Structure formats: C-alpha cells, structure tokens
Amino acid sequence: MKLWEVSGPAFEKHPKAVAILPVGSIERHGNHLPLGTDTMVVMYLAERLRERLDVLVLPPIWYGSCRGLKDFPGTFDIEPNVLYNYVLNVMVEAARNGIHMLVTLNGHGGNTEILGVAAREAAFRTEMHVILLNWWSDLGIQAQKELFEAPGHAGEDETSVMLAIAPDTVKMSRAMDHVVSYPSMKIYSKKVERLIYPDALSGSATKASPEKGKSWLDAALDDLVRIIREAAKLLGINV
C-alpha cells in the first residue's frame, strides 16, 4: 500500500508491521541522467518490494545532503541539521502512527551519516525498530561486482539501473567516462571533490546497459526481502 494514495480509514485497517521510507536526493548526475536518479531508484525498489511482501510504502524524501556536487546546476543541497531533524520527525511520526519496523532505504551517499544518527535517535526515542540500508552498498553486492567494470557516480552501474527503470530519462548520447582513483583515506575537501567529479560523474557510463541494471536490481530486491524477513523473525514480527 502506498500511504499517499489511501484514505484515513483504509490506513487504519491496513497492517503496519513493516513500512519502507525511500530517501534520495536531487543532484547532478553527469549530463545524461536525471537529477532525481537517487530517489527514483529507491522508489522503484520500494514499489517492487510490495509485490513480494505486505509493506506500507511511505512517501519518499526527495532532497538530500549534496555538499560535493552543489556547484553544479540542478543540485539541491540540504543543510545536514535540517535533513536530520526532518528525517527524525518523519521517523517519529511513523512510530506514532503504529509502524513496528521502519526500513529506511537510502539512495544517496551524502545522506548516510545523517540518516544513521536519525535512525538511532528514533529507535531509542520510540518503540519502533529502524533498519537503515544504503541500497548500492548493502544490497546485491556480489551481482554488482560481477556485472560492472567501472562503477561510480552516474557511472556504469547507476546508468545501467536507470536504463532499466526509466530509459526515457537517460540521454546516452551525453554519457561520458571518467575513471578515477579514490583517496585511500576518509577526507573532506572541496579540492578533492572537484578532482573526482569535474563533470559530476565517475566511472564509465558508456558501458551501461539495461540488462546489467535489471540483473543488479533483481539481486538487490532479493537481498532486501531476505533482510526484512530475517529482521522480522528476530523481532517477532509477522510479514
């Protein structure tokens, strides 16, 4: 069930064991992918999850923390404290509305640390259980390794996924290759970000295909279902 499509009485009657909250960004993805790529992918996974499990899909959070690419037109960078408080409020409201387990499905790397703090706070402020998954790094990992030679931001992997789920939004004539070596240490630096993303892209977008994207998404969905079932069993929740 999609929360935004149902009436109040229908929501009252619907099982609330598990809900999924997609979180993404509006951010430049090279010159060939839509600005909403990160959100579109997690929305797709959330809606396909409904085919496998009886989950409540919450409206997505479209905007994220996009410090690294905020110099590019089309990027909306939300202040970390603003995003934290907003996400935390959504999570707490989910608990107040009877959700037992909330799966927060993140589609954007810049959100990761902020969502982690919000998820922990929500779990200890309420009785709700919160799972946080970064879809690109927590789901379909083996398939990702086998399928893609040059992944990255708007690279082969992300472009393949968008070709699979929303091909009309992808402009392959504008796809580029920019394979980079990432720093071995965790470093926050405007200069490093500009070196890595001179065109808001990393990896080889030209190697993308819808077949690769579908294979990765299918593997990711299988992992998502498995994780939810394992967590529900641990917590004594019926799904």
Half-sphere exposure of 179 (CA within 13 A, CB side): 9
Q: Please state, for a pLDDT cut of 70, what percent of the chain lies above it.
A: 100
Q: Buried (b) or exposed (e) across 25-50, using 16+ Cβ within 10 A?
A: bbbbbbbbbbbbbbbbbbbbbbebbe
pLDDT grade for 224, boundaries at 50, 70 and 90: very high
At 61 the three-state DSSP class reads strand
- CA 196 to chain centroid, in Å, comes to 21
**pLDDT of 183 higher than 90:** no
**pLDDT of 112 higher than 90:** yes
pLDDT of residue 217: 98
**pLDDT of 206 higher than 90:** yes
Domains, the chain: 3-235 (3.40.50.10310)
At 204 the three-state DSSP class reads strand
Quick one: average pLDDT of 46-67? 97
**pLDDT of 148 higher than 90:** yes
Dihedrals phi, psi of 184, to nearest 5 degrees:
-75, -15
What predicted TM-score, i.e. pTM, was given to this entire model? 0.96
At 203 the three-state DSSP class reads strand
